[in-house]
Structures are given as C-alpha cells and as structure tokens.
Structure 1
Amino acid sequence: MTPAIRAEFRKFFTTRLWWGMAIAVVLSGAAFAVLFALVFTSDIARGPQGAAVPQTDADLAKAVFTGGIQVGYLLTLAIGVMTIGAEYRHQTITATFLAVPRRGRVMGAKVLSLLVIGAFYGVLSLAGAVGAGTLVLTAKGHQPFADSSIWRALALSLLILGLWALIGLGAGILIPNQVAALLISIAVAWIVEPVLGLVLALTDWGQNISPYLPSRATAAMLESTGGGFDGQPVEQLSWWAGALVLAAYAAVMAGLGTWRTVRRDIA
C-alpha cells in the first residue's frame, strides 16, 4: 500500500495543478477572511439589521477564519474529480492497474492520498485566513482566539476539505466524462444543493431533511450561522453530527466509485 500511496502523491505533486490550486486556496482564504472581518465588524452589521452577524469574539473569529472554506472545498472537490477523471481521460489508468494489479489497493491509495491532500490545502487556506483575519480583527479591537472552540473549527476545516475531495473522487468515477463530472459536481455543490437546502428549510417536512444535506453538514461542522430566505437562522446539526453526516457522504461516494472501478473493464 505504501508504494501505491507514494505513487499517488508523485502523480499529483509533479504537475502544475498543485501549486496553481495552492495559490488560489491561500489567496481566497485571505481575501474572504478580510472581507468577512470588515463586514462583520462594520457599524451597519452591528446595528439592528445584523441579527445573523456573530455576536461574540469566538463566533466572529470562526466566521472570519473559515469563510474561505466555502471556496476551498469546491477546489478540493475539483481535485478529487480530476484525480481519477484525468487517468480515464488520458488512459493512464491502464498503466496504473498494470503496475498495481489489485484495484482495491489502488483505490485505497487514492482515498488516503486525497485525505492528506485535502488537509494540506486546508492548512494553506487557514494560513492565509488566520494571518489576514487576525490582523483585521486585532486592528478592530477583537480577540481572535477567544476560546478553544476556534481551534476545533480550524481542525475540522482540514477534515472538511479531505472529505469533499473524496466526494469528488466518487463523482469523477460515476460520471465518465471528466469535463461533465467537473461541471456537474461544482454546479450541484455550489448552487443546486445549497439552494435546495434553503428551500427545504422553508417547509415543515423539509426542515427535517435540510440539515442532512452536504452543505448544511459542512456549515454545522464550522458552526457557522447561516440564514434562510426570510433572514431567520436555519436549523442545523451539532458539529460532531455534521462531521458524521459529511463523512457518510464521502464514504458512500468513494465506496460506489471504488466498487465501479473494481468491476469496470479497462481498455
């Protein structure tokens, strides 16, 4: 298994993709942190209209530091899709399976390597967000590290990016065309599913379903305080329940992808 994992890392880090993504993750993390810090600490946000704005320094710091994760997990989702999609598109998957004839071992190596790669990008995102966010919050007179829940949110951010990479891996296998898999996955994760969650939250029966959607589980892990169309806070799971739900999505997608890969004929 170790040589297979090492090979997956080598495939990824010997391309231009990894540092291009790294730059995007760091910059987006820093940009969102500065944006959220300025907006949440403005006089308008702290006025009567700012009911959904974090009210404590701890909640404020978590919202600022993890704001870029909403973009970060889309990037790791794309990485998951391209990790397997590129191999099928360029037919390098044949050489991979010839080098390691046990397909289950190859897929296990991909799963483990993607978890590490997702966490790696999480560290980069948080480095940009915490660095820039701390400067703005401190300048505004707030305490960036008010309690231990902030460190928990930062640690869970690393897990979030790894799990979304696995979701992308499954999508890249289940949707044969790489370009289609990339577009569909990002569209669903970024637009369709979050909007669906907000719509469901407006109905009596949908309120019990909405918290279990991937984007809502992600928000629950970060303990972010989102609002619905009516401006009222949306009910969500506890952070640990959100982690279990998102892990279940990742396990199902990666599991289905692995099952299909093991049974699929390779040209």
Structure 2
Amino acid sequence: MTAAVRAEFRKFFTTRMWWGMAIAIFVAGAGLSVLFGFLLTQPQDPTDAARGIPTGTPEQVANSVYTSGLQVGYLLLLVIGVMQIGSEYRHKTITSTFLSVPRRVRLMWAKVIALLGIGVVYGLISMVASVVAGAIVLSARGHEAFPTAGVIRTLVLSLLVLGLWALIGLGAGILIPNQVAALLISVGVAWIVEPIAGVLLGLWDWGREHIVMYLPTAASQAVVNGVTQSGPNAAPHLEWWAGALVLAAYAAVLAGFGSWRTVHSDIS
C-alpha cells in the first residue's frame, strides 16, 4: 500500500501541473482574502440583516476572509481528482498501472489517500496565503485576526473540504470515461449548474428550506461557518459538522461507486 501511495504522489508531483495550480491557489487565496477583508469590515448598518445583506460575528468575518479562496481551491481540486484517473484512461496507462498493482482495491485506496494528501498540500498553500494577507487587512481595519478558537477549527476543516472535493472529482472522472467531458461536466455542474439551481430552488419555500442547504457548495460553506445572508428570505444553513458529513457523503458515494466500477470492469 505504501509503495502504491508513493507512486500516486510521484505521478502528480513530477508534472508541471502541480506547481501551476499551486501558484493559482496561492494567488487566489491572497487576492480574495484582501478583497473580502475590505468588503466585510465595512461599517454595518443595523438594518442590514433585515434587508438580507450578509452579516456575521467577528468569528464569521474572519472565517469568510480566510476561506474566501476556497471556492477556487475546491474547483481546482475537483479538476485534479478528475485528472488523477481520467488521464490514466486518456493516455492508456491504466493497464500498466493495474499490472504494477494487481489488486485493484489496493490501487483505488492508494488514489484516495493520495488525493486527500494532495488536498492537504494545496489547502496549506491556500491557508498560508489567505491567513497572512487576510490578517494584515483585518488588523489594519481594526478587527481581531483570530477572535476565537473557532477560526483555527475552520482553517483545519478547510483542508478536509478540499480533500473531499478531490474525491468527488475522482468519482466523476471514473463515471465519465472521456476526460475532457468529465472536466467540462464536473466543473460546469459545480460552477454554473449548482449555483443556478440553488437560486431557483431558493425561490420555492420548500426547496429553500429542505434542499438548498444539502447542495455540495452550500455544505462546503456551512463547514467554514462564514458570513451568511440573513432576513426572512434567507435559506437556512447546516451546522459545520453536518455540512462536513453531507460533503463526505457526496465524496463517499461518487468515489465509492466509481472505485467499485473500476474494480469490477474490464480494462482493454
């Protein structure tokens, strides 16, 4: 198992893609934390909550600033998850991979462990960029950089979120055999279809109260416990632990079913 995991890491970190995405995540984390730092530290009007303008406690403000680059991060990890298996089929290396690790279950576990590790690596890169830049802005604007211990918990959980999105990408890459199609569909669903669906469901009372909170993006936002929209038309949100369980369920179903299919399918 150790050799298989090491081989998966080597496959990824010996390509030029890893440092290109590392730069993108670093820049996104730093840039968005500065932007959100200025936006969320504007003086709040007492009527903001009643008008549905996003508001939050000092802890939620810090969480939102430090995790503002998370959406870019999990989209990139989604892409990495798709390519971790999709490139094997596209470049016809899946046969040699299975020959080198004949036990397919062990190989799929190695890919899962490697993707979780890759998620942690990129999460740390994003965390360093966003915390340094965000803390400077918060301090300059008269806010505490770490108002409560909950901020540390949020930063740790953001690593888990990125790893789980990588596993969602792994499942999508297996279930959609064509790598290009898998990339377009998975990114399109996460970036375009799901946000639009969330808005449309939010117009329907039952959908806003019972469906929107369980969408992957909404669950990810619940994990970080950031600034949320308030008011009578605001959609309810899950507790951070419930959001983590929902996102883990998505990853388990997609990566689990995809791995089962890979283990039992013929490779030519």
Contact 2:56/2:227 (CA < 8 Å) preserved in 1?
no
1:36 aligns with 2:9: no
Distance in 1 separating the partners of 2:265 and 2:114? 22
1:84 is aligned to 85
Distance in 2 separating the partners of 1:193 and 1:103? 33
Contact 1:226/1:234 (CA < 8 Å) preserved in 2?
no
Q: Which moved more, 1:55-64 or 1:67-76?
A: 55-64
Letter in 2 for 1:219: Q
Give the % identical residues. Answer: 59
1:217 aligns with 2:215: no
Letter in 2 for 1:74: L
1:150 is aligned to 151
Q: What is the count of residue pairs matched by the alignment? A: 264
Residues 262/211 of structure 1: CA separation in 2 closer, same or farther (3 Å cut)? same
Q: Which moved more, 1:65-74 or 1:195-204?
A: 195-204
1:16 is aligned to 16
* Residue 57 of structure 1: how far off its partner (Å): 2.0
Distance in 2 separating the partners of 1:177 and 1:67? 32
1:25 is aligned to 25
Task: Report matched runs for 1:192-207 at 5 Å.
Answer: 192-206=193-207, 207=209
Letter in 1 for 2:37: A
Q: How big is each residue's C-alpha offset from its partner over 1:195-240, in whole Å with a ceiling of 9 and x where there is no partner?
A: 2123223213212111111111111101133449x99432111100
TM-score normalised to structure 2 length: 0.94
Q: How big is each residue's C-alpha offset from its partner over 1:62-119, in whole Å with a ceiling of 9 and x where there is no partner?
A: 1100110011000000000011000100011111000011111110100011011011
2:263 is aligned to 262
Residues 69/30 of structure 1: CA separation in 2 closer, same or farther (3 Å cut)? same
What runs of 5+ residues in structure 2 fail to find an aligned partner? none
2:119 is aligned to 118
* Residue 50 of structure 1: how far off its partner (Å): 4.2
The structure showing larger relative contact order (alpha-carbon pairs under 8 Å, at least 6 residues apart) is 2
Contact 1:220/1:239 (CA < 8 Å) preserved in 2?
yes
SS at match of 1:107: helix
Distance in 2 separating the partners of 1:99 and 1:132? 44
Contact 2:79/2:183 (CA < 8 Å) preserved in 1?
yes
Distance in 2 separating the partners of 1:201 and 1:53? 16
What runs of 5+ residues in structure 1 fail to find an aligned partner? none
Contact 1:58/1:144 (CA < 8 Å) preserved in 2?
no
Contact 1:30/1:132 (CA < 8 Å) preserved in 2?
yes
Contact 1:57/1:144 (CA < 8 Å) preserved in 2?
no
Letter in 2 for 1:218: S
User: Over the residues paired in the alignment, what is the CA RMSD in angstroms?
Assistant: 1.6
Letter in 2 for 1:89: R
* Residue 266 of structure 1: how far off its partner (Å): 1.1
TM-score normalised to structure 1 length: 0.95
Distance in 2 separating the partners of 1:74 and 1:183? 12
Contact 1:82/1:178 (CA < 8 Å) preserved in 2?
yes
SS at match of 1:205: helix
